[in-house]
């Protein structure tokens, strides 16, 4: 945290350090708690490079729990930052990665692979195809939005276009489900539930650099994001190219969402909820503070979902999308009911 910007208030310092501590604590807990009961001493032995009593425990701790924790941390951060950028761009507290149809576009790409060609591709081909198709579907939606942004000067109208594109993608997915085999539909439904535990170690070597690069690039958008809080006219007076900045923000948020969706499935509510949590904790509108706070809060939420998904007594791993609404809906209701008091967007 030494690279953090100079903070202007004690609340911001406490919030950022508190979120960092919470994230680290949850990350450690994810290594010690799982669906398989492993003594804490054995986990420590594995983490320090020793030989555990059972060889399988080393595989579980390093190959499963550690990888899942890293994926959850990066996925939560990526989706949360994407949501923050979209909410600021459209000045809409309920905007999120799924609102522009990016997540639905990824789902359409995956549906084409799993429902139309899955059986013909084989396991390896289908596995690689899912990742590539999810990214391609999201990029297709982004290209459409960028084309419309050249015609529409209104962020609200562009938001409406994104919603309509999402509806079209959902319709196409429904048609594919209707004509698909029972096995294909089952596989697609399981994928749609979302999971941080489906990323293997080789895939992590692809996923982690992609997520880290685009999370880092989001920090370069601090100035235009702050300017957009004042409205397009004020942003233009400050020397910000509103259309170009909006397009860059759309691309960044879209790619962040596409990468997570490709590897983990469509994760709901994280991008919509976490930015509000960061604002409530920091009481700041500066994106120099909000972006790192949102990233840490998103990481903490992702790790918390991992812990809740392997609660004692649960049969197997609970899908992530069965957990996020339980956390997200109360936060969104709070924001809606207190919108006039919070005044999050000035």
Please write the tens of the pLDDT for every residue from 281-331: 998 888 999 999 999 999 999 999 999 888 655 566 788 888 888 888 888
Query: Is 127 part of any domain?
Result: yes
Query: What DSSP string runs through 215-254?
Result: HHHHGGGHHHHHHHTT-HHHHHHTT--HHHHHHHHHHHHH
Structure tokens at 60: 């579980």
Residue of 162, 188, 164 whose CA lies nearest to 174: 188
Query: Is 48 part of any domain?
Result: yes
CA distance 22 to 303: 10
Query: Is 189 part of any domain?
Result: yes
Report the sign of the C-alpha dihedral through residues 101, 140, 122, 64, in that order. Answer: negative
User: Domain range spanning residue 89?
Assistant: 10-342
- Indicate the pTM of the whole model: 0.85
Q: Give residue 37's pLDDT.
A: 85
Q: Give residue 183's pLDDT.
A: 79
User: H or E element: which one contains 108?
Assistant: helix 102-111
Q: What three-state secondary structure class fits 8? A: coil
Arithmetic mean of pLDDT, 239-268: 85
Residue of 239, 232, 272, 258 whose CA lies nearest to 149: 232
Could you tell me if 141 and 254 are in contact, meaning their C-beta atoms sit under 8 angstroms apart? yes
CA distance 188 to 266: 11
Query: Is 211 part of any domain?
Result: yes
Q: Which long-range contacts (CB under 8 A, 24 or more apart) does 331-340 make?
A: 331/273, 331/276, 331/277, 332/94, 332/269, 332/272, 332/273, 332/276, 335/93, 335/94, 335/276, 336/94, 339/93
Residue of 165, 151, 170 whose CA lies nearest to 108: 170
Query: Is 5 part of any domain?
Result: no
Q: Give residue 31's pLDDT.
A: 92
Q: What three-state secondary structure class fits 78? A: helix
Query: Is 198 part of any domain?
Result: yes
Q: Give residue 340's pLDDT.
A: 52
Can you give the CATH number for the domain in which 194 is found? 1.10.3470.10
Arithmetic mean of pLDDT, 40-60: 87
Q: Give residue 258's pLDDT.
A: 84
Query: Is 2 part of any domain?
Result: no
Query: Is 1 part of any domain?
Result: no
The answer for residues whose C-beta is within 8 angstroms of residue 268's C-beta and 6 or more apart is: 98, 194, 321, 324, 325, 328
Q: Give residue 304's pLDDT.
A: 94
Q: How many domains does the chain have?
A: 1
Confidence check: pLDDT of 154 > 80: no
Whole-number CA gyration radius for the chain: 20
């Amino acid at each position: 945290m030494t690279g953090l910007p100079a903070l202007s208030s004690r609340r911001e310092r406490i919030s950022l350090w508190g979120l960092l501590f919470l994230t680290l604590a949850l990350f450690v807990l994810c290594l010690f708690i799982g669906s398989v009961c492993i003594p804490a001493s054995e986990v420590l032995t594995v983490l320090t490079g020793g030989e555990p009593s059972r060889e399988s425990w080393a595989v579980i701790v390093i190959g499963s729990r550690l990888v899942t924790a890293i994926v959850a941390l990066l996925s939560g951060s990526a989706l949360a930052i994407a949501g923050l950028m979209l909410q600021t761009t459209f000045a809409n507290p309920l905007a999120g990665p799924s609102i522009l149809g990016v997540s639905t576009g990824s789902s359409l790409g995956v549906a084409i692979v799993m429902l139309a060609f899955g059986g013909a591709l084989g396991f390896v081909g289908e596995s690689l195809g899912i990742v590539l198709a999810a990214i391609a579907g999201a990029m297709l939606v982004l290209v459409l939005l960028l084309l419309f942004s050249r015609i529409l000067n209104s962020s609200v109208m562009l938001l409406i276009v994104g919603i309509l594109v999402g509806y079209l993608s959902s319709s196409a997915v429904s048609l594919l489900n209707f004509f698909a085999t029972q096995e294909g539909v089952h596989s697609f439904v399981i994928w749609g539930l979302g999971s941080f535990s489906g990323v293997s170690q080789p895939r992590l070597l692809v996923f982690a650099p992609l997520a880290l690069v685009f999370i880092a690039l989001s920090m370069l958008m601090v100035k235009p994001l702050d300017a957009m809080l004042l409205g397009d006219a004020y942003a233009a007076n400050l020397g910000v190219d509103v259309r170009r900045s909006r397009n860059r923000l759309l691309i960044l948020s879209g790619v962040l969402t596409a990468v997570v969706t490709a590897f983990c499935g469509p994760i709901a509510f994280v991008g919509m909820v976490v930015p509000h949590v960061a604002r409530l904790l920091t009481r700041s509108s500066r994106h120099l503070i909000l972006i790192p706070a949102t990233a840490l809060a998103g990481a903490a939420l992702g790790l918390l979902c991992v812990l809740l998904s392997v609660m004692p007594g649960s049969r197997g791993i609970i899908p992530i999308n069965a957990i996020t609404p339980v956390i997200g809906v109360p936060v969104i209701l709070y924001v809606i009911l207190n919108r006039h008091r919070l005044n999050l967007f000035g």
